Amino acid sequence: MAGFRSLARRVRDPRLIDAEQRTSLRRCLERFAPYGHRATWHHLCLRAGIAPDDRHPRQAQLMAALEELEEARAVWLGYEAEFAARRKREKYDGIRRPTSLDDWHRRTWGGNGVAWCDDPAVHPAGRLADVLRRLITALDSAPGDCCPVCGATRIVWREGLRHDPAAGPVCTECGIVVPVPVLRPEALSAARAVAWESRYAVR
């Protein structure tokens, strides 16, 4: 099975036809897709000016999408390396009890779904790398009350997500499933309360 870098080389390979390069770019998302495969593809297409179902995008469009994806992957791999080094130091010091951050990180190792967007058409608008930097800053800071990506305070607890875990706090502005460790208990309680109010209103 080809790795991310091997697939990225195929995207850049001028000997391949545009459809093959596009397929290789899509397969890159099997290795690294911060919003999930479908939402990350939708995001890259919007940013690069590619119609999501266009089988023959221009070379410049493919390169723009790949470069944005590679930049974001470098940011995330840097964070993962720092995270692994910190956990190693903590274990050496006898701190072995996993936290909610450790549990969240285990589910997202490799960068897949770190800022999961359950609706593929609703995702942050900025560059992937910038979004991940804001998320990393939040993960390294004290928990707060708002979305770490867009700063919105309207967060709703949703069930039945197409992700693991299948329930979590979702930002109603940018669409990401907000990592539980970055929210204060009060913010999580408020998100659940909004969900209960919505159910009651429907009935």
Global confidence as pTM: 0.90
Out of 37-46, 79-88, 129-138, which region has the weakest mean confidence (pLDDT)?
A: 79-88
CA-to-CA distance for 142 and 156, rounded, in angstroms?
20
- Residue 97: Cβ-neighbour burial (10 angstroms; 0-12, 13-18, 19+): exposed
pLDDT value, residue 170: 97
Q: Which tokens is 130 given?
A: 């910038």
Indicate the angle between helix axes 59-92 and 4-12, nearest 10 degrees. 160
Query: What tens digit of pLDDT does each residue of 165-182 get?
Result: 899 999 999 999 999 999
Q: Is the peptide bond before 169 cis (omega within 30 degrees of 0)?
A: no
- Per-residue pLDDT tens over the stretch 3-35: 999 999 999 999 999 999 999 999 999 999 999
Average model confidence (pLDDT) for the chain?
A: 90
How remote is the C-alpha of 81 from its chain's centroid?
A: 17
Summarised one tens digit per residue, pLDDT across range 39-85 is 999 999 999 999 988 889 999 999 999 999 999 999 999 998 888 88
- Can you tell me the distance from the alpha carbon of 106 to that of 101, in angstroms, rounded to the nearest whole number? 8
Tell me the CA end-to-end span of the chain in Å, nearest whole number: 49
